[in-house]
């Protein structure tokens, strides 16, 4: 199927009234979630995931994806008005966005964030539409060794980029692999790590871990603070929100920069929108004629990162839908959602379910238009979300988490596990362990073990099969290189310090 025919089919799916409604619900929820500091798309999607079992899968993926990219639009509002990022990917937007708001230019800052998000978000969808089908055809040649190598590469990148400590990220990922291993081994029917509990024989449901670690962990960490932050006011009226022509001229390069960098970083498993927004901001500053003014309230300092974090969502869906490899916590939950509905994301996904893939692509074009309309004139209304009392919001999240987990299994044991994983999620935040590697280890653990064991069965136990096939050898070499970079950098730093001390 060519792209034009696919897109036509996609619009037929996305323009169905029910799917249009789900798209609107998704982007609206995403914007609200993005505005709320401390409640991210992974937590929201994890909480809603069990309820989507009642929905048509096309409508469900359209809604969940809408939450994913809609949150990127909303995240900028909190950064600009509150100097607190609504999303981790909007951290860098605080630098110039809040300074603009303090100078009385909150309106144009919010306006340019919405326009940059729209432009780059649309470019990201175009990239997804053009790159995903050929990549899926290429990946048809992959067998177990290549899949194992690909997952190892994905996990290596996530681990490297997930946090400040490589050791902690690696440990989180390994604990995720362990949790994935709990239950009955599918090859030998041996029960592993079940502590004698019948409930653990079928393993731990991904939803329980995702809701516990992301939603409860995040809320518990936010509830440490008693005070609620105060936001700067938003100017009323569309005219006060629109950037000037000069602002638009100043942001020309930022739109391109954010779109391209965001998409390319998104395609790399593990890099994520936070990295994309930081790199895009850095590039914008490096090439700007007024780089010394960055940090004091420069409009392109808002446009570049906001563009990048929106374009990244299109890129991040490429490895998810073509290879079945999620690159972040949110895409890991989207992968779990697709599996829950009976799909198998991978090289055959697009050809076997063109309505799902093209329907999603078309809905993202529509969703980006909806978001532009929602985020330009209605931003003062959305900003009211920041005034919602947290003592109402947090019990709602607790309630949704409990109902969400119970609706999957109807098991009181899973509710006890939920409390346990909530505590684990909170402890990870307190101790600075990144949670994305744990969730990715959990999602990929079962498939990774299966791919490794199938590879070794193919080679009659020889690990050589992993390095004798060119694609697999290349990917494993990259994975090793990625993990060695920080070690080499540290050894280099020690060497330089030793030389400096010798010269004293």
| Residue 484 touching another protein (CB under 8 A) | no
174 counts as binding another protein under rule CB under 8 A: yes
22 lies in the site for another protein, by CB under 8 A: no
The smaller minimum CB distance to another protein, of residues 102 and 192, is found at: 192
Residue (87 or 449) nearer to another protein, CB: 449
Interacting residue with another protein among 2, 224, 500, 501 (CB under 8 A): 224
Interaction between residue 131 and another protein (CB under 8 A)? no
* Stretch of residues binding another protein (CB under 8 A), selected from 197-205, 275-283, 332-340, 406-414: 406-414
Q: How many CB atoms lie within 10 A of CB 371?
A: 26
Total residues belonging to the chain: 504
**Shortest distance (Å) from residue 322 CB to another protein:** 26
In the region spanning residues 308 to 347, those forming contacts with another protein, defined by CB under 8 A, are: none
The 10 Å Cβ neighbour count of residue 365 is 18
Residues 112 and 106: their CA atoms lie apart, in Å, by 10
Only one of the segments 116-124, 307-315, 338-346, 449-457 lies at the binding site for another protein (rule: CB under 8 A); that segment is 449-457
| Residues between 226 and 285 with contacts to another protein, criterion CB under 8 A | 226
Helix (H, G, I), strand (E, B) or coil at 39: coil
**Binding to another protein by residue 17, rule CB under 8 A?**
no
Q: Smallest Cα–Cα separation from 200: which of 215, 185, 216?
A: 185
Measured N-to-C along each axis, helices 329-340 and 436-458 cross at an angle, to the nearest 10 degrees, of 60
Nearer to another protein, 110 or 337 (CB): 337
Q: Is 402 in the site for another protein (CB under 8 A)?
A: yes
Instruction: Name residues whose C-beta falls within 8 Å of residue 423's C-beta, 6 or more positions apart in sequence.
Output: 220
Q: Which residue, 392, 318, 391, 387, is CA-closest to 350? A: 318
Residue at token pair 């996609």: 10
Minimum CB separation from another protein for residue 365, in Å? Answer: 29
Task: State the Cα–Cα distance between residues 350 and 358, nearest whole angstrom.
Answer: 8
Continuous H helices in 354-435: 354-375, 379-383, 390-409, 412-430
| 16 binding another protein? (CB under 8 A) | no
In the list 275, 418, 438, 442, the residue contacting another protein (rule: CB under 8 A) is: 418
C-alpha span between 49 and 41 (Å, rounded): 12
Buried b (16+ CB within 10 A) or exposed e, 488-501: eeeeeeeeeeeeee
DSSP bridge pairs for 192: 183
Residue 395, φ and ψ in degrees, nearest 5: -60, -35
* Span 293-312, contacts to another protein by CB under 8 A: none
- Residues 6+ positions from 428 with CB-CB distance below 8 Å: 172, 213, 217, 434, 435, 438
Considering only 130, 223, 373, 484, the residue that binds another protein (CB under 8 A) is 223
- Closer by beta carbon to another protein, 377 or else 446: 446
Interatomic CA distance for residues 221 and 218, integer angstroms: 5
Specify whether the CB–CB gap between 319 and 121 falls below 8 A. no
Residue in 192, 296, 354, 467 binding another protein, rule: CB under 8 A: 192
From 180-188, 231-239, 280-288, 367-375, give the range in contact with another protein by CB under 8 A: 180-188
- Select 119 or 177, whichever has its Cβ closest to another protein: 177
Residues in binding contact with another protein, number by CB under 8 A: 56
User: Which x/- pattern, by CB under 8 A, does the window 31-60 give for another protein?
Assistant: --------------------x--x------
The span of 22-30, 60-68, 114-122, 183-191 binding another protein (CB under 8 A) equals 183-191
Q: Does 391 bind another protein (CB under 8 A)?
A: yes
Three-state secondary structure of 64-93: HHHHHHHHHHHHHHHHHHHCCCCCHHHCCH
Q: Give the number of other CB atoms < 10 A from CB of residue 61.
A: 27
Q: Interface mask (CB under 8 A) for another protein, residues 450-469, using x and -?
A: --xx--xx--xx--------
Q: For the window 199-218, what string marks contact with another protein as x by the rule CB under 8 A? A: -----------------x--
- For another protein, the closer CB: 98 or 433: 433
Are 133 and 3 in contact, with CB atoms under 8 Å apart? yes
Distance CA 326, CA 270 (A): 8
Backbone dihedral angles phi then psi of residue 201, each to the nearest 5 degrees: -60, -35
Q: Does 164 bind another protein (CB under 8 A)?
A: no
Q: What residue ranges bind another protein (CB under 8 A)? A: 51, 54, 167-168, 170-171, 174-175, 177-178, 181, 185, 187-188, 190, 192-193, 216, 220-221, 223-226, 390-392, 394-396, 398-399, 402-403, 406-407, 410, 412, 415-416, 418-419, 422-423, 426-427, 430-431, 433, 449, 452-453, 456-457, 460-461
């Amino acid at each position: 199927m060519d792209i034009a025919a696919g897109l036509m089919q996609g619009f037929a799916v996305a323009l169905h009234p029910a799917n249009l409604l789900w798209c609107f619900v998704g982007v609206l929820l995403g914007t609200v979630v993005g505005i709320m500091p401390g409640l991210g798309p992974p937590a929201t999607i994890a909480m809603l995931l069990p309820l989507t079992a009642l929905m048509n899968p096309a409508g469900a993926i359209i809604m969940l994806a809408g939450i994913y990219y809609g949150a990127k639009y909303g995240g900028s509002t909190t950064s600009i008005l509150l100097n607190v990022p609504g999303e981790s990917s909007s951290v860098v937007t605080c630098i110039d966005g809040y300074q603009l708001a303090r100078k009385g230019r909150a309106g144009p800052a919010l306006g340019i964030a919405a326009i940059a998000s729209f432009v780059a978000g649309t470019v990201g969808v175009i990239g997804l539409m053009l790159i995903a089908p050929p990549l899926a055809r290429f990946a048809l040649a992959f067998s177990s060794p290549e899949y194992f190598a690909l997952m190892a590469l994905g996990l290596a990148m996530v681990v490297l980029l997930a946090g400040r400590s490589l050791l902690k990220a690696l440990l989180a990922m390994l604990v995720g692999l362990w949790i994935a291993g709990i239950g009955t081994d599918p090859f030998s029917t041996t029960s592993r790590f079940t502590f004698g509990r019948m409930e653990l024989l079928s393993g731990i449901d991904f939803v329980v871990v995702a809701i516990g670690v992301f939603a409860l962990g995040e809320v518990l960490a936010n509830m440490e603070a008693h005070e609620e932050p105060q936001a700067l006011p938003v100017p009323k009226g569309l005219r006060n929100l629109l950037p000037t022509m000069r602002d638009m001229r100043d942001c020309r390069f930022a739109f391109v920069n954010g779109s391209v960098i965001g998409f390319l970083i998104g395609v790399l498993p593990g890099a994520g929108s936070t990295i994309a927004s930081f790199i895009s901001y850095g590039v914008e500053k490096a090439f700007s004629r007024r780089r010394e003014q960055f940090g004091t309230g420069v409009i392109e300092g808002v446009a570049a990162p906001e563009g990048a974090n929106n374009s990244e969502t299109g890129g991040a869906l490429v490895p998810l839908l073509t290879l079945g490899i999620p690159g972040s916590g949110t895409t890991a939950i989207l992968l779990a959602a697709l599996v829950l509905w009976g799909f198998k994301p991978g090289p055959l996904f697009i050809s076997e379910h063109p309505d799902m893939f093209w329907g999603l692509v078309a809905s993202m074009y529509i969703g980006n238009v909806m978001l532009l309309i929602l985020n330009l004139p209605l931003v003062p209304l959305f900003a009211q979300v920041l005034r919602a009392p947290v003592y109402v919001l947090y019990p709602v999240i607790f309630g949704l988490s409990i109902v969400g987990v119970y609706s999957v299994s109807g098991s009181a044991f899973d509710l006890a596990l939920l409390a346990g994983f909530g505590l684990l999620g909170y402890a990870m935040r307190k101790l600075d362990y990144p949670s994305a590697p744990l969730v990715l280890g959990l999602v990929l653990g079962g498939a990774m073990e299966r791919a490794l064991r199938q590879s070794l069965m193919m080679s009659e136990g020889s690990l050589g099969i992993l390095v004798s096939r060119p694609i697999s050898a290349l990917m494993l070499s990259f994975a090793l290189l990625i993990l060695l970079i920080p070690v080499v950098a540290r050894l280099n730093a020690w060497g330089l310090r030793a030389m400096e001390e010798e010269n004293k």
